[in-house]
Copies of this chain bind each other. A is one copy, B any other.
């Protein structure tokens, strides 16, 4: 056989009309039991599967959701995809992935190709460039067409839609507080530039935790990384130019890199310097010492995002816009020493 069998072919084969076939397969009671049986048996025999594209066109519904993310080779985003996939499948949806690679034009392109009929809605995490340039025109197009959309993690207030985020300020606040509680006072901070929504908030949390504990802020202890390539040199500089008893790193590669560099300088962790990471993944488990890290449940965020989106897609009334905050937890491992 060359292609999946169609209603038309079944109808012709059985010498009845297409609509009778269609109704029989849906077991409409208006069709005689005899005909229904005959058609169903035949369809089963030939492995009939309704053509999804035709259904989509007819119903103006694709049962597909577009997922636009900055990166796939990334523990957090991969977890989100998995979360989305799980609930999507369970509700009969399929997921189409677009990777922006942190670039605005790729983000725009993905949205453009997917928005004309291909998907019923979008789940998006904005690229760095998008946030940096603050260009949200492509997202406005989505809302103009009333295509349901939810944004997660990398969001913007400029666009009104459902959002799923973690509360970034408490993330770093609590991490810093934990270090203070365990007897640290000179706490360095290695982070990204502030234009990432997450970066800004986490920096704020760091400052606030220090202030509320009456610890003087030392700007020399704050290192902002533009670009992965400058990570090593900047951390080296931090280490050689300053003294501190703990480092808060904005993510686990930064944290793990700090460990490596400290090791090279014969600084023992956690004995000399404690380390805490504001994101959690596989790496933190296997470094020496393993890294205490704030776990941002990507899987849960994916699930929540998918639930919000599908609810909106399937709801007849227009729902109010909501923002869900997914809790984080500090996973204690071996990189923080109690100095009290």
Report which A residues bind B (CB closer than 8 A): 1-4, 47, 49-54, 56-57, 62, 64, 72-75, 78-79, 81-82, 85, 89, 94-99, 106, 109-110, 112-118, 141, 144-146, 253, 256-257, 259-260, 263, 281-283, 285-288
Contacts and interface: CB of A to CB of B under 8 A. Distances in A.
Contacts of A53: 53, 56-57, 62, 117-118
A52 B74 CA distance: 30
A288 B283 CA distance: 12
Contacts of A260: 286, 288
Contact of A52 (B98, B118, B141): B118
A94 B98 CA distance: 8
Contacts of A263: 288
B145 A64 contact: no
Contacts of A286: 253, 256-257, 259-260, 283, 286-287
A110 B256 CA distance: 37
A96 B96 contact: yes
Contacts of A47: 141
B81 A117 contact: no
Nearest to A61: B53
Given A52-B116, A53-B117, A287-B286, A78 B74 contact: yes
Contact of A287 (B99, B109, B253, B287): B287
23 contacts: A4-B115, A4-B116, A49-B115, A50-B116, A51-B116, A51-B117, A52-B116, A52-B117, A53-B117, A64-B96, A73-B75, A73-B79, A73-B82, A78-B78, A81-B99, A85-B97, A89-B109, A95-B96, A97-B97, A256-B285, A259-B288, A286-B286, A286-B287
Nearest to A287: B286
Contacts of A113: 52, 94
A149 to B, nearest CB: 15
Nearest to A1: B144
Contacts of A73: 75, 78-79, 82
Nearest to A48: B116
Nearest to A62: B53
Nearest to A85: B99
